[in-house]
Each structure stands twice: as C-alpha cells, then as structure tokens.
Structure 1
Amino acid sequence: MYFDKCAGSRCDEEHGWDERFGDFLTDLQLQEGLAESTLLVLKNQLTAFNRWVYQATGHTWDRAVPEDFYEYLLNTEGLLETSSLQARRWSLKRLYSWANDEGVTSIRNHTFDFSIRAVKQVMSEMPPSVEQIHRLLEQPDTSRKEGVRDRAILELLYATGMRAAELLSLSVFNLQSESLLKVWGKGRKERLVVYGEEAKYWIAKYKVVRNDLLHKGGHAALRTNNLFVSTGKHPGYQYFELRRMLKKYGQACGLHVTPHRMRHAFATHMYQAGAPLKFVQMLLGHENLQTSTIYIAQNSKDHINFLKHHHPRNSKSKIGRSRFG
C-alpha cells in the first residue's frame, strides 16, 4: 500500500501528516495484513492527533507527554460513543508501541491504560455556572495590555461558543461589522457568528493595543494578520498559550477551565435562558444540522437581537439583569 510522503519535510505541521506514519502503517500491512480501510482510518486518526497536539503544545507527536493524550480525548467535540474513544486510544497505543520499538519515542503502553469511563465522566461534567464565568471574566488585569487581550479572548469565547481553533484562526479581516465575525469551522466551512455588547467593547479596547503587543514580542506590525497576537516567539496567539491562560485564570477562581468548557458554558447558558436548542446548535456550527452560512448571514440581525435577550453578558438578558444588573 502506498502512503503519501511529505514534500521536502519530515512533518507537515498544518495537516498533521508525518512521513514516519507511512513507515508505521506499511509495517502493519506487511506484518499483520490489516485491511486497507483499517489502515486509512488509522492514518486519519494519527494525522488528526498530530495536528491537534502541535496546535495545543507547539511540538509534534513524537514529543507528546501523557497529559496530551488525555486532553486530546477530552477536547473531542461532543460526547463520543465509548467505542469511538476506544478506537482513538487503540490507534495511539499502536503507534507509540511501534515508535518505542523503533527508538523514536519512549512512551510506554501503560500510558494509555486510563479508563474510558473516566474520560467520558469528565467530558460530561456540568460547565461553570453563570456566576462562575462572570468571576472568570473579571480575572485579567486590564491595566496591562496582555490583560486587555486576555479579557477580549475570554469575552469572545463566552459570547460565541467558538472552537479554540476557530478563535485562533481569526484574522483582522474577519471582523465583518460591530457584532459579526466570519469564522472557518470544521472542514473549512465558513460561517458567521454574532457576539454581544461586552465582547464588542473588549475587542475594541484590544484592537488599540494589538500592535503594541506585537512590538513587545519583537514582531513587526505587519508580521501577522491574526486578530489575536502574542508577545512570545510566534506573533500569532498559540493554542498552548490559550490553554495556559484559561488554566491560570480558572485556578485563580477555583475552576477547571478549557476552551471546550467555555464552549459548553455558552451553549448551556443560552439554552437555560430560553434559546431554542436548534438555534444554539446553529451558532455552534455543528455539522449535523442542515443550516447554511447563507441562512445565518440573511438572518444575522435577528440573531444579534436574539443574543441581546438570551445571553447572560447582555444588558437585555433576563438572566444578565437578575444576576449582574
């Protein structure tokens, strides 16, 4: 069986493919005679993991640590069936068993012997309450420019329920209007998302200091089009920075916070405030819904008005007035 190689590099970071995966899959085919369909599933799962771990940590699969494997499963969109979780764990276990024998890594098989039930239990935990999210949003020190950026990110995550990858891929050109953002979701599908008053305010504050943050990191103002930028090695804000920031502010107010839990909180609080489930799912960009970007764009004014009345961070929201008014 033939597996594509990377053109000119060992690992294609953007797409997750590593030429060593080809060696691994070829060995499986020759030694165990696995069906081509099984090998294709393995290939897809391994590239997905490698792409995720690079975005999450800045390093590739051969430098992953046990915490990465566990969090990868926890970051799975929605609650997967146990069999699907087991398949992912099996794929990683096979890869790292081979890589250990080949001297590529020193990850042992027992690393993957955690309970799938425990993973599903953590995934199904209730998200933070409205009051807890409110305390989280107040954590950044907005007298500092980094704090203004962090507050804008937190507000936008909670205002829209965006996936972490969608937020980090935003460019300065994605701001369609004062309350609209164009995002690229799963499968590179484009959609518009709406956000409310608080997010709008902090994004405006952040845009004033964006170039200063780039300069602080030694980057030219035109070095990146990313909306959110870093003072670190990379001009664009990275997933590991997002994860670290959420963890820091979460710990400060006694919460376990991840990008997915922010997304979960958005959906839950909107639904608790009376938003129809299908409307919430549409805003989340779930692939199983038969809604289109055109429908969202045509009804964006209705959606903005709907968020004003149903999202806790907006003044017209009943839940917002009752708890924070």
Structure 2
Amino acid sequence: MTKINKSHIHLTLSHILNDDPDIALDDIRAKVPEIKSRIIVQDTLVYMEEQQILMNPRLLIRNCEGYTNYYMIARVKSWDDLYRNVICRNYEFIDSALYIRSWEGNRLAYLKYHNELQKEVDDVLEEGPLEYYEVIYPQCITDEKIENIGEPDEKSKIPADKLDKRFDWDYDTKQVFEWLSINYRLNLTRIGKLLDISRTTAKRKKDLVKEFVHVHYPTYIQSLYSYTGVLSSFHTEYPGFVKGIFRNLSATSYLLGNQKRTLCHINTTLPGYVIRVFEKLEAKAIIEDLNVEIPVKNWNRIQEEYKLGRIPEKLFWMFKRKKRKRIELPGSSFT
C-alpha cells in the first residue's frame, strides 16, 4: 500500500473533501503537490477510512417548508428507557440521540429530530428549533490549548438557515437520500440497482437531494476513538466568538441552536480542558446558564440498521480496496 501516513496530509484531504464532497480522486491529486499519483491518493483515503480518521459524510436536511429540525434534552430513567420508550416510539423522526449519566442518579438524553414526535416525551428539560447548524472543521493535527481566551469585539448573531423550498420528496428521492446517508460516494449505478431505477434517475434524485442538504465529512485526525464528546447548552449573545474559540482542535465539532439557546458538541482529546474553557467563558459572562456533560452512549438510525443486518457492510466503504477488515460501525454522528 502506497499510503501517506502524515497527519497534515490527512487534514488537507479532509478540507478538500469538505469543500467539494463529490470531488474525483484525480482532482484531489491536482490540489496536493505532495501526492504524486492517483493510487497514492486512493490508498491514503483508504487508510484514513479504515483508521476512522475520515468518516462517511453526514447529510443534514435544512429547514424548509414541510421540514424543521428540533432538539430536546430530557430526563430518562436509563438507556433502555431512552431506547424503548423514546427512540423506538419515534423511530422515523429521531435522527440521533446521546445518553448522559450524571451524578445523583440523573440520566439525560439529547435528541435531534425533525418535525413532530409521534409520542410525547416526559420530563423535558429543554427543547426548541434548530435554526442554524454550524460545522466547526478541524484546523490542527493535535488539539491545542488557548493561552488567552480574550474578549469578543461585539455581539453577534448566526442567522437562521431556511431554504425557500418545499420538502415534498417522492419515495425514490427519500430512498436515494437514505443510501447517500449511508455512503455519499456510493456509485450511482449501484444506487440504481439497489432501488431498481436507472442511473439517470438516481443522478436526478441525488441532484435534488443536494439542493436540500448540508454535506460534510466528519474528521478525527488522531482517529475516532481517541476523542471524547463534550456536550454543552447555554445562552450567549456571542455565538460566532464561541465558535472561533474551538477552531484550534483536531476533530469535527458542532455549534447549533436558535436565538435563545446555543448547543455545542466538541470532539476532543482534552475533555477536561474544554470543560474549563466553557467555565471560563461563563465566568467572563460571554455565555450564561451553562450546562455541560460528557455523553456515554449514542444512537443513530444508520447504526441501528447496520447492527440489525439490514445494510451490507461493503456498502459503507467510500474508497475501493479489495480486502477489508470488518468494521464496528460507530454511532459518532451528532446530526
């Protein structure tokens, strides 16, 4: 294998793919002079995928008429309570979930869902629309600490993201979206065969899906399982400043919320440091009413379908290689 095992190259490839999720391997090679051939590009991406440095792209359907993203934080009795009484009863509407074990027997759940849940959730602590969803792309090959947080120059507001479109996908479009969510780089001919439609139809449906979604490749430069997720919720009039604070990390993170409440999910090798940063931000009154926790379990529908044997493993791999070691599909998605 002619891979390049250099973290700065991995970071560069992540940026290229996030700039253009559909980019061809030859076009990637043209953007990285250090890589001398197409096969080295491919082998390096295979390595990144196998080591869970680069993850399958995540697709988030943007708010529009007929489709609205929401979040909820609720108290639950246990993971089984969350799974059986919340997730299973709202299976088609919950996109992802996090489970948190706190002190004194408190068990919390974070839910990201769309439209309305079919079964009400008891003991809701916090909920609201997700008016914006910002991806914080990694800029470093290792997590770097900030010596001086500084002060924001002025108040900021992240504008609500809403498409001027109506969400009225037909069955085939929804099915294409599901396969793209499993593997965004899945060959269109393969998608056509899976759905018994032509390649031309599959391409037309993919083009329609792209009009409605944000696409990004989650990246973990030190490999996924080196990182811990830190989930926080707070009020701030400086969301742009908070986002900038965490640009010096080495994994994909997220800032999302609405004008009343901001959530931040930071993937880091320094969870204690990140929590202290949030506490310093609160002490400076840059953020208020801070809640911060470390989730211990996560769930998403693709992970569930894979575990149930409904999705063949070979369809997850984005980059071709003849032999693959079996993967344990992570539930790392925050979307």
- Whether the TM-score (by the shorter chain) exceeds 0.5 is no
Structure whose residues are more often strand by fraction: 2
What is the TM-score of this pair, normalised by structure 1? 0.26
Structure whose residues are more often helix by fraction: 1
Bigger Cα Rg: 1
**Relative CO higher for 1 or 2, CA cutoff 8 Å, sep ≥ 6?**
2
